[in-house]
Amino acid sequence: MKRFLRQPRPALLPRDAGGERWLCVVVAVLCFLACLAAVGVASADRAAHGWTRQLRAEATVQVRPRVGETGAAAAARAAETLAGIDGVTEAEAMDRKTAEDLLRPWLGEAVLPDLPLPHLVIVRLDRDTPASAPTLSRALAEAGLDASVDDHSLWRGEVERAATLITLLAGAAFALIALAAGAAVAYATRAGLAAQRGVIETLSLNGASDRAISALFQRRYGLLAAAAGAIGAVGAALLIVFMRGLGGSEGLTPALPIAWRDLILLSPCPLLAATVAVISAHLSAMRALAAPRRDRDQ
Amino acid sequence: MNPTPPRPAELESAPQTVRLQGVGFGYADTPGVLRDVNLILPRGSFHFLTGPSGAGKSSLLRLLTLSERPTHGEIHLFGDDVTHASRRDIPALRRRMGVVFQDFRLLEHLSVFENVALPLRLAGRRTEDYAANIEEMLQWVGLGHRLHAFPRALSGGEKQRLAIARAVIGKPRLILADEPTGSVDKGMGVRLLHLFQSLNKLGATVLIASHDEALAERSGASILRLDKGRLVEGAA
């Protein structure tokens, strides 16, 4: 008798009914993808904010030299004028070599020497209180410079819209994968109920309530999904660590920068997977148990 | 054991464990499985339910375990009308019954001990509260040496005795058994019958469905005979 008192009581549901091993694999893969999608959302959001912050922190001024003044001199004068304005941290005239370096990949070497290039000044703005485009234009006009200011607002809007779209798409992918995980668990629960109908009837005829039987499935699939969620999250974490290690703070591509803190996003995965599984199992089990017996027998 | 069938007047006045009143039952494709069955099982009585295959014996037991609902009529168990009992109320009613199935319905992944413990475990009892009772019960049915065995390792007779032990461990007020001697030899059948008679002496109402009329006659119990869904002998 002591042996029975020492040992934990065995599970009332037999192991691996309804293809639980395969369900574990499917849920682990779905959790892995969901984790990557979650990190993708964070990366896309970070990239979008980075791009817009960068665009907001810079302005480009094109200077047209007056008669008797060289383009380089006009650009230098514009840079000097702009550097003294509140909200500007740095203003630097772009020399021809730098401009040619930027164009070389697009136009090639041959045409560059003969190409008339605009005289540009790169203005770096204060991140917190950036000077506005009208302020810069006014200062240039007051200094007697013929120049036009581009504060990148057109590009910024486009980038913000694109970034928002990417974030939404990644979010939708995450939601769809979570839904698929829930559906897989719900399907497996129903399969488990069908596979164990004899066991369930025996439990029921020995006095188990529907709620107690449902709780057995909830516990079984909740633990299974938690384990699968942990496997998926660890897999995703390893991949993210690999990408971060390989590509630094920009990950494999600057378009989706990865931060170490992204790993925190993966931590709720087992709990979320278990929650989805418990709810799915509860709904499926209660619906199946409440169905008329003759329907279940057919 | 109740060797002499009680007379109708005695049946009406005794406390009733089971009362069926004009009960009919059938499936969509096979109507009339049971027709207008009137039946009273007084508390502490012992009955055999006999009849040819397809007479409706198993269906009647399924109605009594509340696994099916009658198409008409009333079912009273333990003094209450349970014809329309809700699913929420059924588990409590079933805990007052012990059911022995024709196919045993043992849980193959649980040991002999755990199979017998099932009704107690489902009732929320702790192992230390019932472990001694189970050992005693298994000794009583001759399975004291097979506590740790699994059902697949048991013979047909051992499985049958295990199923009976599970059915009676919770001291049910009503014991229903479907062909409990169907898969054992004649000697074992008689031994199992004595087991049911002992349980009946302890106060349980016993209803055994069996096509073995000779065993029923030999038991001296009240005989209820079903034929084509009608109770042709022993009706209330």
How is residue B115 written in tokens? Answer: 């199979």
Decide if A289 is inside a domain: yes
Q: Please enumerate in sequence order all residues whose Cβ is within 8 A of that of A7, keeping only pairs 6 or more positions apart, or say none.
A: none
Query: What integer is the mean pLDDT of A19-47?
Result: 85
Q: Which of A156, A174, A200 is the last residue of a domain?
A: A156
The reply to whether residue B131 touches residue A209, judged by beta carbons under 8 angstroms, is no
Query: Contacts of residue A293 in chain B, CB cutoff 8 Å?
Result: 67-68
Decide if A205 is inside a domain: yes
The nearest alpha carbon in chain B to A10 belongs to B110
Decide if A9 is inside a domain: no
pLDDT, tens digit (0-9, with 9 covering 90-100), for A228-272: 999 999 999 999 888 888 776 665 666 678 888 889 999 999 998
pTM over 0.95: no
Q: Which helix (H) or strand (E) holds B112?
A: helix B112-122
Distance in Å from the first CA to the final CA of chain A: 43
Query: What integer is the mean pLDDT of B88-114?
Result: 92
Closest-CA distance, B5 to chain A, in angstroms, reads 29
Q: With bands split at pLDDT 50, 70 and 90, how would you rate the model's confidence at B108?
A: very high
Q: Which residue among A15, A207, A212 places its CB closest to the CB of B94? A: A207
How is residue A30 written in tokens? Answer: 């779905």
Say if residue A125 is in the same domain as residue A245. Answer: no
Q: Which residue among B65, B119, B127 places its CB closest to the CB of A5? A: B127
Q: What is the pLDDT, as a whole number, of residue A246?
A: 79
Q: What is the CA radius of gyration of chain B?
A: 17
Q: Which residue among A11, A14, A205 places its CB closest to the CB of B94? A: A205
Say if residue A136 is in the same domain as residue A198. Answer: no
Say if residue A39 is in the same domain as residue A175. Answer: yes
Strands (E), A96-227: 119-125, 146-150
Q: Which residue among A9, A201, A210 places its CB closest to the CB of B87? A: A210
Q: What is the pLDDT, as a whole number, of residue B11?
A: 45
Query: Contacts of residue B132 in chain A, CB cutoff 8 Å?
Result: 1
**Rounded Cα distance, B225 and B213, in Å:** 10
Q: Which residue among B94, B109, B135 places its CB closest to the CB of A14? A: B109
Q: Is B150 on the interface with A (CB under 8 A)?
A: no
Say if residue A214 is in the same domain as residue A253. Answer: yes
Closest-CA distance, B109 to chain A, in angstroms, reads 6
Say if residue A140 is in the same domain as residue A250. Answer: no
Residues of A within an 8 Å Cβ radius of B: 1, 3-5, 9-12, 14-15, 198-199, 201-210, 212, 289-290, 293-294
Closest-CA distance, B112 to chain A, in angstroms, reads 12
Q: Is B223 on the interface with A (CB under 8 A)?
A: no
**Mean per-residue pLDDT of chain B:** 87
Closest-CA distance, B228 to chain A, in angstroms, reads 21
**Rounded Cα distance, A151 and A166, in Å:** 24
Query: Contacts of residue B111 in chain A, CB cutoff 8 Å?
Result: 10
The boundaries of the domain holding residue A206 are 15-47+165-297
Decide if A2 is inside a domain: no
Query: Contacts of residue B119 in chain A, CB cutoff 8 Å?
Result: 206-207
Say if residue A132 is in the same domain as residue A110. Answer: yes
Q: Which residues pair with B77 in a beta bridge?
A: B18, B80
Say if residue A24 is in the same domain as residue A69. Answer: no
Say if residue A71 is in the same domain as residue A41. Answer: no
Decide if A83 is inside a domain: yes
CA-to-CA separations, A152 to A60, A122, A237, B152, B174, in angstroms, rounded: 8, 12, 37, 78, 86
**Rounded Cα distance, A167 and A172, in Å:** 9
Q: What is the pLDDT, as a whole number, of residue B42?
A: 94
Q: What is the pLDDT, as a whole number, of residue A297?
A: 35
B83-92, B185-194, B223-232: which has the minimum mean pLDDT? B185-194
Question: Residue A295 pLDDT more than 60?
Answer: no
A54-63, A278-287, A289-298: which has the minimum mean pLDDT? A289-298
Q: What is the pLDDT, as a whole number, of residue A196?
A: 81
Strand B46-50 versus strand B222-227 pairing type: parallel
Q: Which of A156, A183, A217 is the last residue of a domain?
A: A156
Q: Which helix (H) or strand (E) holds B100?
A: strand B97-100
Query: What integer is the mean pLDDT of B20-48?
Result: 92
Say if residue A288 is in the same domain as residue A194. Answer: yes
CATH code for the domain in which residue A133 is found: 3.30.70.100
Say if residue A279 is in the same domain as residue A249. Answer: yes
Decide if A266 is inside a domain: yes
Question: Among candidates B165, B178, B155, B167, which has minimal Cα distance to B226?
Answer: B178
Strands (E), A26-156: 58-64, 88-93, 119-125, 146-150
Q: Which helix (H) or strand (E) holds B206?
A: strand B205-209
Domain count, chain A: 2
Burial of A156 (C-beta count, 10 Å sphere; 0-12/13-18/19+):
middle
Q: What is the pLDDT, as a whole number, of residue A6?
A: 62
Contact A188, A19 (CB under 8 A): yes
Residue pairs spanning A and B at CB distance below 8 A: 72
Decide if A92 is inside a domain: yes
**Rounded Cα distance, A35 and A241, in Å:** 13
Q: Which of A123, A156, A189 is the last residue of a domain?
A: A156
Contact A216, A12 (CB under 8 A): yes
Say if residue A119 is in the same domain as residue A212. Answer: no
Per the listing, tokens 């922190």 go with: A57
The reply to whether residue A204 touches residue B94, judged by beta carbons under 8 angstroms, is yes
Query: Contacts of residue B118 in chain A, CB cutoff 8 Å?
Result: 12, 202-203, 206
* Centroid of chain to Cα A269: 15
Closest-CA distance, B38 to chain A, in angstroms, reads 24
Say if residue A58 is in the same domain as residue A39. Answer: no
Q: Where is pLDDT greater, at A281 or A147?
A: A147
Question: Residue B208 pLDDT more than 70?
Answer: yes
Decide if A3 is inside a domain: no
